[in-house]
Every structure is written in structure tokens, then in C-alpha cells.
Amino acid sequence: MIVDYNAEPLVQVKDLCKYFQVGRHATLKAVDGVSFNIYRGETVGLVGESGCGKSTAGRCLIRLYEPTSGQVLYDGKDITKLSRQEKKEFCHKVQMIFQNPYASLNPRMTVKEIVGEGLKLQGKSNEEIEAKVEQLLKTVGLNKDHMSRFPHEFSGGQRQRIGIARALSVDPEFIICDEPISALDVSIQAQVLNMLNELQDNLGLTYLFIAHDLSVVKYLSERVIVMYLGTVVETATSEELYSNPMHPYTKALLSSIPEADPDKAQANRRIPIKGEISSPINPKNCCRFASRCEFATERCFNEMPAAREITPGHVVACHLMDDVK
Ligand code: SF4
């Protein structure tokens, strides 16, 4: 699908913050001033280590969490200020595929009930639901016989397919895929990724693809956003990010991807990320990566780096970029 980058973005995230109060004096800043756009028909990868705030940001986009501050616009409208009718439409247009297909399906419901739940809420008749569920199961590579079975009768890959059929049941435009393959066996990860790709082509879907691993989003995403401890550190097209990473954290993440070609593997120096990810509770207003960065200076521990556009569409938040013309 061709993406029109001159059109208004389908999703606009503006200075989004999501804080959680932990005790009386502590604030966990899960998402802290994150901004990005997603265009219609695009797949945007949102990547970072576990605990960086990527899933929390995804949940704010679908209103599973109310933002502490900032704005999320969908199709130009603030999602916290929708009328009742608009809210109903938004719930259909935006869907989520969850990380754990073992936990995200109700074990007491049949596949027909799970996939048809949204249709039932839309007031569809039993015949209509049955016909649509059958068609959806076919779309995700399952069949009519699976309708009366329960989630425990399926493998992990099949359960994720059921989760995808459920998301598709209400004809969404935008799907947030929250690490949809990380709980699956490696042998079936590619099948699910290929299916998501095909569905996008056939149905014109827009994806936000959340992953902890840059290698997963490489072939899927037009653009990639790298998050570290609640903040966005680098955004670029996939091509640019993988060929010319600029933020020290992105470089380290990329260097940790195993390389099949032995010559390339030898040429690529592995950049270890020292220490543990710092706590997101009451973080200092400085570069969040400073305690683990091999280039950190005193300034990095005292001043939050501003995001700078280095080349069109390639935005980096690092003090080292001050010297890049
Ligand atoms: Fe490293 Fe400083 Fe850049 Fe942060 S701002 S990534 S600590 S060089």
C-alpha cells in the first residue's frame, strides 16, 4: 500500500505523558513527553527494551489508559473528547492484538463467541455472526470446524490467529500489535508476521507494531521509533535507521542482532549496553540513557537532550547531535 505522507496523519501523538503514582512521593513516569505520527496504510515499529513504556504508549492510543497529559488525535480528533457516537466508532476503528495469546482469550468462551463478541455488541443476528466468524477464521487460516472449540484446544500460533480474527471482526482501520509474536515458537513467528503483512495489503490496515527487538520490525515497518525509559530517542525510516543509526542506544540495539553473514558479523562491532535499565520512578531531568552510555559527559547527566531532525524524517535526541550540521 502506498502511504501518502502529505496527508493528515491518521494518528497524532503530541507530548504524551502517562505517569503512575507509586506511594506518596514517587511517580513512575512510564511515558514522558512522547510525540509521533502514524500515516494511513503505514506500519510504524515502536521498539525498546521491556519497561521502556512502549506498551503503555500503545494502551494510551486505544484508551485502555487515560493519558496524564498530552494529546492523542485520531483522524484529527482528540480521543479523550469524542461524543458518545464517535467513541463507539473509535472502538471499532482501533483494535489491539495482545502479546500473550494464552492469556488474552477467555478460556470459557468458544472461538465463535470470542470472535463474534464485537459483532454481537453491534446487534448482528446469530446467522450473521456465524457467517462472519466463518469468513474471519478462513482469513486467518483456520476453518469452520474450529468455531465450537475452546482456546485450550489450540496451539499458541492458532490462538494468536483467533486473537487476530477477533480484532478484524469489527472492520478496524488501525491495529496496535503489542508484541504479537514474542510468546510464540520461532517456527511460527514468520507465519504470523506474513499473515499480518497480507492482511494489511488486502484490507488497507494501518499498524503500530510494538516489539522489543529491532530485527522483528525491520521487514515490516516503513518507519521505526526507538524508545528508552519513557522517551523517544530516535525516529527514522526503516532503511535509514538500519543503515545509519545515530543514537548510541539504537546503535547498541542494532549491534546485538545476530548476523548470519560471517564477514558482516566480523565487521560489525558488538556494542555492549552496560548495567541495568534505570528506574522510571522519579527520573532525573537528564538523558535517561546517560548511566549506560559510553559517550556520556557531565552535560548528559544534567540536561535532557532535545529531539533534532538531522536529515528529513530522521530525528535524534542526543547531545552528540549538536555537532552534526
Ligand atoms: Fe549518550 Fe549523552 Fe547522547 Fe545521552 S545525550 S545518548 S548520554 S551522548
Q: What separation in Å is there between the alpha carbon of 295 and the centre of ligand 1?
A: 6
Encode pLDDT of 63-99 as tens digits. 999 999 999 999 999 999 999 999 999 999 999 999 8
Taking 3-state DSSP, the helix, strand and coil percentages for the chain, each rounded to the nearest 5, stand at 35, 25, 40
Q: To test the ligand 1 pocket, which listed residue (304, 320, 321, 322) has its Cβ within 8 A of the most ligand atoms?
A: 320
**206 vs 184: CA distance, rounded Å:** 23
From residue 148, give the alpha-carbon distance in Å to each of 110, 111, 151, 158, 173: 5, 6, 10, 14, 28
Q: What separation in Å is there between the alpha carbon of 321 and the centre of ligand 1?
A: 9
Ligand 1 atom nearest residue 300's Cα:
2
Mean per-residue pLDDT of the chain: 92
The answer to whether residues 128 and 96 touch, using CB atoms and an 8 Å cutoff, is no
Q: What separation in Å is there between the alpha carbon of 289 and the centre of ligand 1?
A: 6
- Using left for φ > 0, alpha for ψ between -120 and 50, and beta otherwise, residue 247 falls in beta
Q: What separation in Å is there between the alpha carbon of 308 and the centre of ligand 1?
A: 13
267 pLDDT above the threshold of 90: no
Q: What is the dotted CATH code of the domain comprising 11-108+150-323?
A: 3.40.50.300
pLDDT of res. 109:
95
What is the end-to-end Cα distance of the chain in Å, rounded? 34
Mean pLDDT across 246-262: 84
Q: What separation in Å is there between the alpha carbon of 282 and the centre of ligand 1?
A: 19
Mean pLDDT across 200-221: 91
**42 vs 206: CA distance, rounded Å:** 5
Kindly calculate the radius of gyration of the chain based on its CA atoms and give it in whole angstroms: 21
Which protein residue's CA is at the shortest distance from atom 3 of ligand 1? 318
Q: To test the ligand 1 pocket, which listed residue (232, 284, 287) has its Cβ within 8 A of the most ligand atoms?
A: 287
Q: What separation in Å is there between the alpha carbon of 281 and the centre of ligand 1?
A: 20
* Phi, psi of 33, rounded to the nearest 5 degrees: 80, 50
Q: Which of 255, 282, 289, 291 is nearest to 270 (CA)?
A: 255
256 pLDDT above the threshold of 90: no
Residue with cell 470472535: 115
Encode pLDDT of 128-174 as tens digits. 999 999 999 999 999 999 999 999 999 999 999 999 999 999 999 99
Residues touching ligand 1 (Cβ under 6 Å) are 248, 287, 289-290, 293, 295-296, 300, 305, 318-320
Mean pLDDT across 262-272: 67
Q: What separation in Å is there between the alpha carbon of 201 and the centre of ligand 1?
A: 39
Ligand 1 atom nearest residue 297's Cα:
2
Q: From start to end of the chain, where are the E strands?
A: 11-22, 26-38, 43-47, 69-74, 77-78, 94-97, 174-178, 206-211, 223-228, 231-237, 307-311, 314-317
Mean pLDDT across 279-299: 93
User: The pTM is what?
Assistant: 0.92
Mean pLDDT across 41-53: 94
104 pLDDT above the threshold of 80: yes
The answer to whether residues 179 and 209 touch, using CB atoms and an 8 Å cutoff, is no
Ligand 1 atom nearest residue 296's Cα:
7
Q: To test the ligand 1 pocket, which listed residue (300, 302, 310) has its Cβ within 8 A of the most ligand atoms?
A: 300
Q: What separation in Å is there between the alpha carbon of 263 and the centre of ligand 1?
A: 30
